[in-house]
Structure 1
Amino acid sequence: MQQQNINQNESSLHAIDYWQVLKNRYGVILLTFLLVFLTAAVITYVMPKKYESSALVEVKPINDVSPTMMQTAGTGPVMTRQFMNTQFEIIVAPSTLELAIDKKQLETRWGQDRKTVLNTLRGIVQTNQRRGTDLIEISVRHRKKEDAQAVAEAVYQAYEQRRNDLEMGIRREQLKAIQVELQNKSDRVAEMRKRLMDIAEKVGVIWVESERGGEMIGGQLELRNLAEKQLYEANREKEQLSFQINKLLTLDDDELVAVAAELPEVGFSDNYNQFVAAKRDLQVMLAQGLGPQHPDIKARKASIAELDSSLKKRAVNVRESLKYKLKLVEGRVEKMEEVLNDQQDRGTEKARSFQEFNLARKEYQTAQSIKDQMEVKYDLEKAKLVMPPTNIILHQVPEIQDTPVSPNVPLNLALGAVVGLIFGVGIAFCLEYLDTSVKSLEDVERFLNVPVLAVIPKDVGVLHKQSGMSPDAEAYRILRTNIEFNRKNPEDNSITVVSGGAGEGKSTTLVNLAYICAQGGYTTLMIDADLRRPRLHTFFDINNSVGLTNYLTTDLLLEDVILQTPVDNLYFMPSGILPADAAGILNSRRMSELIQDVKQRFDLVLVDSPPILGVSDASVLASEVDLTMIVVQHRKLPRNMLLRVKQAVENVGGQVIGVVLNNVDVRSDNQYQYYTSYYTYYAPTSGEDNQQNVQASTNAKQQSKSASSDEDLY
């Protein structure tokens, strides 16, 4: 249960401390960022440069209309959803690419076989649709900019040729189909006309074909009245035709066309309207700035010329047709006059036979109407056959580009920066998650259930070598005060300073604490019990030849091995000559007697020891003294190792008074700035004092680093 609560607290700490993690791991983040960014830069640098050339074309569906179906006016071919995807596949189809290979002789140009060139084209030719338009972009990327332009041009030309061939083939097939169907309709009309005339002869009806589809003369009184009426209308029509023919004979071809457009000629007015509309469209296109050599201008002019020629021919035919009609009308008038004379005595008994005649007449008129429509359709398709295809329009000619499009240096570097930053942050949080070292005061108190006596900032120097009032001393004053209030028995004045591993700063902490206690009026004794690698004597420049080991192995007096330091109230017992069995010497009755003796003579006894997890000396010392203070370097020792330090002390009967969190970087760890805010209270008031204190503090810190570096080796 306790472990579960610890994990929950740890998760909560990580959830609210992201910014602190980034600050603590900024070196890893920066290194990862630089590595990924430089990798992206190197890859971008070694990537081959590629140039792009593009052709922009507008593609329209081919007008494929069945010859038996008439297209509604104003409508065109509908573009389906799959049309663009189909065109993409046609552009990169082997047939199109092989035609492009032949156009630019790419096999000879690249010195490769046809299959290899075809596979290369499949990889470098790209097609895409401009969003919101019917435009297709055919783009080609190649290491040589001239080849990129040549291939793009060849692919467009091959695609255009295939599309044009397809459209012209469809037009020819449509015209052929319409021609066959028109011939069938003509044969049908001729057959039905013959049948109609046979029935008319059978029933004794005179059938006269006219512009309105034909009229019949039959019956007695009714037929006579009808014949008289038709004779009147025929004479009237004869006079109108005579007037029109005389007028047309005085006109030239252009005037004849304009006048003939007003005549009821089948299909002529429609063709004339198309001719006028085509000329109007030509003027609009010229007004829009299209030159005379533009494909649309040429196509429009060719259409106008074809329509003009067709209209003039048909106008002449109209005039000749009117002459022929005049002759027919004159003959019909003569015939009708003869009919009126011959129909005096005819009866009405043949009226019942007219029903078959009327049915045959309606069928004939319907067939004739369909035939006329087919003739109009045939003329239109024939005119379209001479017009150039317009289903594909080029809007952008492939050009040689001097600037490479690949690699995209800004994009690659930006992606490298983003990926590097993401990886850096990810690695930072991963390392933070895997890092089980002591990071905060809560870690110490939660795992060891002992208080944190003091937080010592990073790079604190040796205090007795600094002049003036140093802000670093306040951290040790806090330590001294916390020791006073956390020891339960005032007579417990012997304290050993231990650490889990080497390099955590226990010797520097002991020296500075001793100095602060002596400065506060405590008679303080420092004992260098680190018989493996003693370092306390280096802080005071004292000879280490006689000391603790000499006292424990000989009959020297205590006064012979305790030395007075330059600091008032501060005394020092060196380690002496290093023995072969350090643990055995320390675990002796004389050592216990020594501790009891110095406790009576001094207010505070501080004993330095080797790392407790490395050798057994520290455990022996922890059992001899009253209290044990653990020095932990910030973000160094794993929490499990710290717990083993405490257990090692308690296993020998020692009592842990608390922990000193040493070497804390308060600039990056904002949570400790509150504990070190006392620095602002010790700022010198004069510039000269400030200069002296800064210089003295710097010198002292440098000397402390040189001395501590030797200590940190063990």
Structure 2
Amino acid sequence: MAQYELNVLDYWLIVKKRKGTILLSMGLVIAFTLALTQYLKPAPIYEASTRVKFERSNTFATLMLESLSSQGSSDLNTEIEVIRSFPVVERVAKELNIVKSGVSPEEARSSDYLGAIYGLQQTIKTSIEGASNIIRISVTANTADMAQRFANTVAETYRAENIRTRNKTVFESRRFVEEQLAAHEAALKLAEEALRDFKEREGQVFLNEEAKAALESFTRLEADYDKVSRQRDETAKQIETLQKPGSHRQVERIFTDEPTALLSVLNSKLADRMQERDNLLINYTHEHLLVKEMDRKIKNVKDEMIRELESKLKNLDGREKVLKEQIDTYRKRYFNFPKAAIQLTRLERDVAVSADLFAKLKVKHQELLIKNSERIEEVSIIEPAILPSSPINQPNNQMNFIVAVIMGGFLGVVLAFARESFDTSIGTIEGVEEFMQVPVLGVIPRFNEKEQLEAAAMELPPNTKPETISLFSKLVCLYDEKSVISEGFRSLRTNIQFASSERQAKTFLFTSAGLGEGKTTTIANLALTMAQDGKRVLLVDADLRRPFVHARLGLERTPGLAEVLIGGLPWRDAVRTVTDLMIGLLGVDRIVNTPGIDLLNVMTSGNLPHSPAEFINSPKFLEIIREMREEYDVVLFDTPPILPIADAVMMSSKVDGVILVYQVGRIGRSALKRAKFLVDHAQGKVLGMVLTNVRAEITPEYGYYRYEYR
């Protein structure tokens, strides 16, 4: 290949020359990409998203219950974990019938049950949108309908769980008050019935003012004693609850009716710590350092509460002791009071206490009903999930196609330039001249076989045989003198005349390095062109291996050169004239209408001998060539290829010049170089080369054109 600097046009010509490689590479890459995409196409996964708004409620009920609420310190980060927590996901699984409802504790701890819950948990993703208080809940499922139902169920279940948790204290307090209200109503009825029975049985009981006041004081002391005793028992139970061995479940919160007391603050603090611990257990085990640290904080709060309760218990013990002493004093002092009066006073005290407790519970119940109507709702669904239109893992065929086109084009260009780099043929005129050190005498454009057949058929009669049309289509200079191909042969004729003018060369040998490079078609058209130029031309088919000149011109093969060299036939008797051409397949009309063709004579190969090389290298052949040179202006010899057969090499020194025919891109440059070396070594003179099958590379702005002379 010639070593010269490539410009943009050269690169474009390489791409255009190797466009088949590029298109094939693109096609293969695109087909492979699409096939692989379909083969590896995963099962469809649909994603649906819903958005919820979490906003901390600041209602009056919230402020009153903040100290008892188990969600007092929740924030958005806690909430996004709560959404994926086990209780919420379990309720979602039951709503979607993924797990059965009402299972036994043993079934709820089974691996299948827990695996279904945790598997569902992995398909839920939560995220905070920017700096807002809006949480996006995204879920994945195998079907679009399931994904939509799943997302909406998660949002609704989370909202219901938040309402239940935030209003848990109100619900529990109301239930407790209602239970106590029913119990105290029954106790009040019993006390009233006992008092009524006593009065019916004992009648009217009269006491003086001093006795009545003493009995009232005595009754009040007993009521205070009962109250202190109940508080003491309650405090002792609270201490016992807090002193139970630590478990991994949330401890029962103690109840106090003193919201401003230290014990109430500690109780709220304990509830917050337990909530934080539950949130940690969503992602960590009980042995994790953060969980252990939270257990330590919970223990510290419980210890403080135990100390506070023990102090309260000590005070209650003291009050109980004082009240007991006062009751004993009254009992000794007024021992002589009538028993009926004392019993009446106690019954009246029981009715009064029961009535007072019942009235207070009624008031408390009304307050809790009001609080219940002010239900705390911190979560609202602002955007329900819609039916997803396509899977999230669907292959992007459009993007894959674009990438495949780009990669295929890139790979094709790389392969095209690689083929061009490894191509040992010579593809440019500069390359041929520089590598072979001989001039290029002619450039014959590529034959478009279909167009040539159509053009030949138009010049011949309608009933012409197909083999005649095929034969005629190769002789372009005979029927289309204005074509680019005919101009190429005329240019070759002119260059040969200039190249041989100094040596007065008349005999020329046409050969090629390998088979099928177009030398016979080239020499036949060149002979016609030279005859049309007024030269007396003799075309000799010296290819005694695979002769083809007779077929190209529509002549009989015998007699020919073989009979001249072997049988002793005078060479002039083997020469065919214009008359033979008229009788042959070309016909009279075409020959008569072609000026100058009467100056063309042809000698065919004749019958093929067994050892052609012996006769070609004989002195007789050399004498015949000398005589031909004297009688004709130009003698053209068509010979076999150089590399497979030595005939052309032996003849090269017997003629005035050798012209190598080279079909561009057909054989490697080393083979072409070897052919020239053999001719030079045999003392032959290579005048130049003819390039055939050349595809003209013309920029679009010039287009394709035809030469026409008028």
Aligned equivalent of 1:679: 706
Aligned equivalent of 1:459: 447
Please state if 1:20 is matched with 2:13: yes
Separation (CA, whole Å) in 2 of partners of 1:478 and 1:168: 105
Q: 2:24 aligns with which of 6, 31, 47?
A: 31
Q: Decide which moves more: 24-33 or 153-162.
A: 153-162
Separation (CA, whole Å) in 2 of partners of 1:185 and 1:92: 33
Query: Which one-letter code corresponds to 2:655 in the other structure?
Result: V
- Tell me how far 1:480 sits from its aligned partner: 1.3
Q: 2:262 aligns with which of 175, 178, 184?
A: 184
Aligned equivalent of 1:549: 562
- In the alignment, is the contact (CA less than 8 A) between 2:542 and 2:605 conserved in 1? yes
Query: Which one-letter code corresponds to 2:44 in the other structure?
Result: K
Unaligned runs of 5+ in 1: 71-75, 188-382, 685-714
- In the alignment, is the contact (CA less than 8 A) between 1:523 and 1:569 conserved in 2? yes
SS at match of 2:678: helix
Q: Deviations over 1:130-185 (max 9, x none)?
A: 78977665545555322332343455567767888998999999x99999995239
- Tell me how far 1:648 sits from its aligned partner: 2.5
SS at match of 1:13: coil
- In the alignment, is the contact (CA less than 8 A) between 1:472 and 1:679 conserved in 2? no
- In the alignment, is the contact (CA less than 8 A) between 1:50 and 1:141 conserved in 2? no
Structure 2 CA distance for partners of 1:510 and 1:403, relative to 1, 3 Å: same
- Tell me how far 1:34 sits from its aligned partner: 3.5
- Tell me how far 1:393 sits from its aligned partner: 5.0
Query: Which one-letter code corresponds to 2:434 in the other structure?
Result: R
Q: 2:421 aligns with which of 433, 446, 450?
A: 433
Separation (CA, whole Å) in 1 of partners of 2:524 and 2:680: 25
TM superposition score normalised by structure 1: 0.54
Separation (CA, whole Å) in 2 of partners of 1:178 and 1:639: 106
Separation (CA, whole Å) in 2 of partners of 1:653 and 1:88: 96
Query: Which one-letter code corresponds to 1:52 in the other structure?
Result: Y
SS at match of 1:454: strand
How many residues align? The count is: 464
- Tell me how far 1:20 sits from its aligned partner: 1.8
Structure 2 CA distance for partners of 1:22 and 1:395, relative to 1, 3 Å: farther
Separation (CA, whole Å) in 2 of partners of 1:122 and 1:454: 81
SS at match of 1:670: coil
SS at match of 1:518: helix
Separation (CA, whole Å) in 1 of partners of 2:436 and 2:657: 16
Q: Deviations over 1:475-500 (max 9, x none)?
A: 11111111122236433222211222
- In the alignment, is the contact (CA less than 8 A) between 1:536 and 1:574 conserved in 2? yes
SS at match of 1:442: helix
Separation (CA, whole Å) in 2 of partners of 1:524 and 1:425: 49
- Tell me how far 1:456 sits from its aligned partner: 0.9
Please give the root-mean-square deviation of Cα atoms over the aligned residues, in Å. Answer: 4.9
SS at match of 2:526: helix
Aligned equivalent of 2:649: 619
- Tell me how far 1:583 sits from its aligned partner: 2.6
Aligned pairs (5 A) from 1:298-447:
388=376, 390=378, 394-401=381-388, 406-447=394-435
Separation (CA, whole Å) in 2 of partners of 1:170 and 1:554: 131
SS at match of 2:521: helix
- Tell me how far 1:512 sits from its aligned partner: 0.8
Aligned equivalent of 1:670: 698
Query: Which one-letter code corresponds to 1:670 in the other structure?
Result: I
- Tell me how far 1:580 sits from its aligned partner: 2.1
Q: 1:105 aligns with which of 84, 91, 97?
A: 97
Structure 2 CA distance for partners of 1:459 and 1:159, relative to 1, 3 Å: farther
Q: 1:55 aligns with which of 38, 45, 49?
A: 49
Separation (CA, whole Å) in 1 of partners of 2:647 and 2:543: 8
TM superposition score normalised by structure 2: 0.54
Please state if 1:492 is matched with 2:505: yes
Query: Which one-letter code corresponds to 1:147 in the other structure?
Result: M
Separation (CA, whole Å) in 1 of partners of 2:11 and 2:496: 34
SS at match of 2:515: coil
Aligned pairs (5 A) from 1:270-309:
none
Aligned equivalent of 1:630: 660
Separation (CA, whole Å) in 1 of partners of 2:515 and 2:492: 21
- Tell me how far 1:462 sits from its aligned partner: 1.0
Query: Which one-letter code corresponds to 1:443 in the other structure?
Result: G
- Tell me how far 1:530 sits from its aligned partner: 1.5
- In the alignment, is the contact (CA less than 8 A) between 1:496 and 1:608 conserved in 2? yes
Separation (CA, whole Å) in 2 of partners of 1:672 and 1:556: 57
Unaligned runs of 5+ in 2: 58-62, 67-71, 102-110, 173-249, 266-370, 449-473, 582-596
Separation (CA, whole Å) in 1 of partners of 2:663 and 2:700: 14
Query: Which one-letter code corresponds to 2:613 in the other structure?
Result: A
